[in-house]
Every structure is written in C-alpha cells, then in structure tokens.
Amino acid sequence: MSKLRCIIIEDEPLAVRVLSDYISQVPFLELQATFKDAILATEYLRDHDTDLIFLDIHLPRLKGMAFLKTLTNPPAVIITTAYHQYAVEGFDLNVKDYLLKPFDFERFLMAVTKVKSIEREKQQPAETQELKDFIFLNVQKKKVKILFSEILYVESQREYIKIITTKGEYISKMSTHEMEDLLPSNHFKRIHRSFIVSVNKIQSYTAEEVDVNGVAIPIGRGYRDVIENL
C-alpha cells in the first residue's frame, strides 16, 4: 500500500513539532503540509488530495468542528485536542480517532495504524474489481449493475456522487474517494477534487479541461500531471 498523505491543522507550534516528529517516525505516513488555521487548509484542499488530517479543535477564525462540517468528501480525520468534551461530536462526524493532549508516540501509532487498516480494507475491493468489468452500486434502495466500459465520468454531489454513463445517470450515496477505490485505476483517473473520468472516453484536452462526450470537465491545479502522464 502507498503512503498515507497527511496534513496538520494546528495553531500551537509545539504541538506541530511533536506531530511532525511522530509522523516522520512512521514509514507509511507522508506529511504534505502544516497549517495554523482551518481557512488556510481549506484553500489547500481545493486543489490537493490528502488521506489523513490531524485536526485541532480550538483554532483561530474557524473552529475544528465547523471546518469538518464544510468538507464534502472528507478524508480520514484524527482529532488532537486537550478537550475531551468534543469526542461525541467528533465521532458523529466520522472522526477515526480522538487523541487527548499530551499523547505519547505509542498512542499516536495506534491511531494511525487504525486509519491504515481502514484504508487497506477500502483498497481490497478495488483489487478484486480489476478482474471484473462491472460494479454494483446502491441506487434508490436497490443494487444497480454498472459496466466500467459504459462509465463516462463521476461527479461529486456533496455526500452523493453522480455516475454519468452512455446509458444514463445514477446517483449513489458515497464519496468520490470511495468510488475511486472501486474503479480500476488503469482506466479511470481523478482529474479534479470533484471529478473522475474514464481515460478511454476523453476526446480532447487542454491544460484547464478535458472533453468527455461533449462535456467540458475542469482539471484541478493539483491534477495536471495526471493528464500529462496519460
């Protein structure tokens, strides 16, 4: 499994140093960036994907819980705080773990290993799908069979995704991250935080957008190398 990309959102310099040091000691973690407030992190996440966020709750300008509620397709989140009273609200927002400061390396390692295990389980269906040419998705309370060869692109719709195929459109309650794990990576590429496209269905492209079946789909700034490497 590839490394888990992670960011730190924390306004205490000492806490940032501790987390950065812990991350550097774990081979399967890769620190992308650190942010002293959630507004700066929001700007970063518009153009970049990450797998894991270490999030403090008491932040300037935008509090940690409020920030979580703004994310349409949140990655895994581990809360790091000195305040235990937010634990229930955190788990309601699908937080993977809750580290009470000060926490030692052993407790940190337990939390990130849990996230790694969850990510590995999500990857396993994708490996199986490489041998298939279809998936079944939940659409309006029933399982619908969708052929990979018929998918044009996938678009994020907040907590739902819209799958556009040659035969029609389907809405399913899942994230683009989850859908990306189910699709064969050699045929489908994420080119924007909100879009996954079928490589075989791309008719033309520029530095800013691709054309799929007559629809112009934007290329995120952090994904331009994906198109260049096709």
* Span 54-74, average pLDDT: 85
* Span 171-194, average pLDDT: 88
Burial readout 149-160 (b: 16 or more C-beta within 10 A, e: otherwise): ebbbbbbbeeee
Asked whether the predicted pLDDT for residue 169 surpasses 50, the reply is: yes
Asked whether the predicted pLDDT for residue 155 surpasses 60, the reply is: yes
Nearest to 161 by CA among 139, 146, 141, 130: 139
| Least trusted range by pLDDT, from 19-23, 129-133, 197-201, 206-210 | 129-133
Domains contained in the chain, CATH given: 4-125 (3.40.50.2300), 134-228 (2.40.50.1020)
Q: Pick from 91-105, 116-130, 148-162 the range whose average pLDDT is largest.
A: 148-162
Burial readout 174-195 (b: 16 or more C-beta within 10 A, e: otherwise): bbbbebbbbbeeebbbbbbbbb
With cut-offs at 50, 70 and 90, classify the pLDDT of residue 227. Answer: confident
- Tell me what percent of the residues of the chain surpass a pLDDT of 70: 90
The pLDDT score that the predictor gives to residue 71 is 81
- Tell me what percent of the residues of the chain surpass a pLDDT of 90: 49
Asked whether the predicted pLDDT for residue 52 surpasses 70, the reply is: yes
* Span 45-53, average pLDDT: 90
Tokens of 172: 């399913």
The pLDDT score that the predictor gives to residue 125 is 53
Q: Pick from 11-25, 60-74, 212-226 the range whose average pLDDT is largest.
A: 11-25
Contact 218, 74 (CB under 8 A): no
Tokens of 106: 């052993």
Tokens of 35: 């942010």
* Span 44-66, average pLDDT: 88
Asked whether the predicted pLDDT for residue 186 surpasses 70, the reply is: yes
The pLDDT score that the predictor gives to residue 129 is 46
Nearby residues of 27 by Cβ (< 8 Å), 6 or more positions away:
3
* Span 186-199, average pLDDT: 91
